[in-house]
Structure 1
Amino acid sequence: MEMKKRISLELRNKTPAQVAELVVDNCRSSDGEIEGLTDEFKELEFLSMINVGLTSLAMLPSLPKLRKLELSDNNLSGHLEILSEKCPNLTYLNLSGNKIKELSTVEPLQNLKNLKSLDLFNCEITSLEEYRESIFEQLPQITYLDGFDAEDNEAPDSEEEGDDDEDGEEAGPVGEYDDDEDEEEEEDEEESESGEVGLSYLMKEDIQDEEDDDDYVEEEQEGKEEAADVRGEKRKRDADDEGEDDDDEDDD
């Protein structure tokens, strides 16, 4: 897909002035130039043009708010001064996989005063002797080169880490809320345990009540049977007594 058409699709019914991020990776520019990107994208902060066949940045429009620029896997070999002219507020620049061979090629990046991170992976320049030392010396404003600082400490996953503190939001003292949280957790556990114990107790009570009811029914049934036996025995004795009386009368 052509870059111009891809940019048009990425707008998604928005105007260029409403777009803060634009990704056009893996499309194609007809002559190795940027197409479809204009000065109207004045609010653009992130632009990704990975593997689009760029050989020149001459047609890059003015993007004053652009902070992050992805240009990896293209065919750029020089003329990087256009970046400081058109995108003066860049903080992150990825030029990995381009045809950058000499230290002099990246020298114009000195004018990007806010540049903090630069990637040059898979560029021939990385094979130069003392490559890292030379880049850090030539571009003193950068903190990270190819993902690591001058002391080989890895860059954080996000450049936004720590921004909250910088914006004036103070973090509470360490452990300030730990005791309260622990107490709440203990109370929750106690409530949970007491709830389980209470439920278990109630279940046992119900079971005991049922057993008591069964015992009562059995005892009541046994009582009825015993009463019936007593009544039957009494009737039998009464009948026997009547029979004896009859025999005495006959003898008379």
Structure 2
Amino acid sequence: MEMKKRVSLALKSRSPAEVVELVVENCRSSDGEVEGLTDEYTNLESLCMMNVGISSLSKLPSLPKLQKLEVSDNSISGGLDVLVEKCPNLTYLNLSGNKIKEMSSIKPLQNLKNLKGLDLVGCDVTSPDDFRDNAFELLPQITYLDGFDREDNEVPDSENDDDDDDDDEEAGPPDDDDDEEEDGSEGEVGLSYLMKEGIQDEEDDGDYVEEDEEEDEEEDEDGAAVTGEKRKRDAEDEGDDDDDDDE
């Protein structure tokens, strides 16, 4: 498929100004130049033109918001100064698998002040043993070269981080139904507890009533015994009085 047609299909009924990310890969440029892109892509932030058969970036339109550019597996050998003019805000540039042979070819990238990551894997320029040291010295603003920093620490896997964020978004907020069920369970437990407390109080009150009744009965029995004893004594006293009268 021709590159120009591939770009048109990638629009998907959108206007160029609405496109933020554009992937155009595994197609063919008719003359080795960028085709199908225009200055109308004013909001484009990410552009992938992998394996499209380009050997030059001279016809790349002005893309002031472009931050990520991937042009791996092409035939680019130089002319990178155009990126400084057309894409001044680039933070990542992938030139892997191109025909860059000399350090002088990447020197124009010094003027991309926001450039943090650069990939040149598979380019002849990376062959010398001291390439990494020289590249970091030539481009002091970059943090990662071919996926590793100056101390050979691997670049963080931002894609995995993005996946985690997506999972969190898909997971969504806690289910209100679950909260309601939990609240309901707590309510039932609380109600059961109160009912048990009430039953226990009634049982305790019953115990107190029974104890009070037993105490009252004991008091009644004691009172009756005392009364009976008094009546017996009174009768005896009366008998004594009668005997005295007879004498």
TM-score, length of structure 2 as denominator length = 0.65
Where 1:136 maps in the other structure, the secondary structure is: helix
Aligned pair 1:130/2:144, yes or no? no
CA distance in 1 between partners of 2:160 and 2:109 (Å): 22
Partner deviation per Cα, 1:159-210 (whole Å, 9 max, x = no partner)? 8969xxxxxxxxxxxxxxxxxxxxxxxx9xxx9xx9xxxxxxxxxxxxxxxx
Question: Counterpart of 1:245?
Answer: none
- Displaced runs of 4+ in structure 1, greater than 6 A? 159-162
Question: Counterpart of 1:116?
Answer: 116
RMSD across aligned C-alpha pairs, in angstroms?
A: 2.2
Rate the CA distance shift 1:153–1:47 in 2: closer, same or farther, 3 A: same
The letter of the residue matching 1:121 is V
Question: Counterpart of 2:3?
Answer: 3
Question: Counterpart of 1:89?
Answer: 89
The letter of the residue matching 2:58 is A
CA distance in 2 between partners of 1:138 and 1:147 (Å): 17
TM-superposed deviation, 1:42: 0.6
Question: Counterpart of 2:21?
Answer: 21
Where 2:79 maps in the other structure, the secondary structure is: coil
Partner deviation per Cα, 1:136-162 (whole Å, 9 max, x = no partner)? 000000000000000000001118969
Question: Counterpart of 2:67?
Answer: 67
- How many residues are matched? 168
Question: Counterpart of 1:205?
Answer: none
Question: Counterpart of 2:41?
Answer: 41
CA distance in 2 between partners of 1:137 and 1:56 (Å): 26
TM-superposed deviation, 1:129: 3.2
CA distance in 1 between partners of 2:69 and 2:157 (Å): 16
Question: Counterpart of 1:233?
Answer: none
How many percent identity over aligned positions? Answer: 69
Question: Counterpart of 1:219?
Answer: none
Question: Counterpart of 1:98?
Answer: 98
Where 1:65 maps in the other structure, the secondary structure is: coil
Larger Rg: 2
Summarize the alignment of residues 82-231 of structure 1 with structure 2, pairs less than 5 Å apart: 82-158=82-158
Rate the CA distance shift 1:68–1:86 in 2: closer, same or farther, 3 A: same
CA distance in 2 between partners of 1:152 and 1:129 (Å): 14
CA distance in 2 between partners of 1:93 and 1:161 (Å): 20
Structure 2: gaps spanning 5 or more residues? 163-181, 190-247
Question: Counterpart of 1:51?
Answer: 51
Question: Counterpart of 2:217?
Answer: none
CA distance in 2 between partners of 1:127 and 1:12 (Å): 42
Where 1:125 maps in the other structure, the secondary structure is: helix
CA distance in 2 between partners of 1:33 and 1:132 (Å): 30
